[in-house]
Amino acid sequence: MSSTTRARGKVRERREDVRRRVLRTAAEMMADGTPYTELPVQRIAERAGVARSTFYLHFPDKSRLLIALAEEAVDALFGEAVVWWRADHSGGEEDVARAMRQMIAAYREHRRVLHALGEVAGYDPDVAGFWRDRMRGFTEVVQGRLDAERRAGTVDPAMDTPTTAQVLIWTVERTISAHCHHDEGPGDDRIARTLARSIWLIIYGVAPPAPTDRR
């Protein structure tokens, strides 16, 4: 390996380290209770141990910082649901409820970032564009499954799959967001099961069969 290649590798490692420190610092400050909109760049940079100018080398503005923070949070929020949409649905409603419980847990873990994402997306076009793109991607996953089910004859042939997918995604996201803002955990299972029943009935139109006794 040439000295030039090694030097470039070290520069890249330093940049990645700085980026991680800034992201970790911002997340920690939010975890301490400071709303994202009230986090000054100078304070983030100082606590992360970097110059303000260095901060801007990695994040041109706070919108880009929030988007970087939200990447992981959004993936965690929808990850388990995507697994269910792509899986065999023979497990019925219980498998959907399990996915909903995972989404609720992920929202609670990342709720400060996700709350900031929803708030800032209301007025920042870059953040709004990121959020729309990610939601569009998850909606396409759902629509793809609904289209496959329609071709297989397992759902109503008249189903408007693009609109149904949008309704399902936004209903789940908004319900979990509102729930986690008003409930500290006791109602999680009830919400998960109610969402699961709603999703199943919207897709298949009938309640899933009762589990059989396999003894």
Other CB atoms within 10 A of residue 92 CB: 16
Q: What pLDDT does 96 receive?
A: 96
Which DSSP string do the residues of 52-85 spell out, in sequence order? HHHHHHH-SSHHHHHHHHHHHHHHHHHHHHHHHH
Buried b (16+ CB within 10 A) or exposed e, 43-78: ebbebbebeeeebeebbeebbebbbbbbeebbebbb
Tell me phi and psi for residue 207, to 5 degrees.
-70, 145
Q: What is the pTM of this model?
A: 0.85
What is the band of 185 on the pLDDT scale with cuts at 50, 70, 90? confident
Cα radius of gyration (the chain): 21
Domains within the chain, CATH numbers bracketed: 1-59 (1.10.10.60), 61-204 (1.10.357.10)
Kindly state the average pLDDT of the residues 132-144: 96
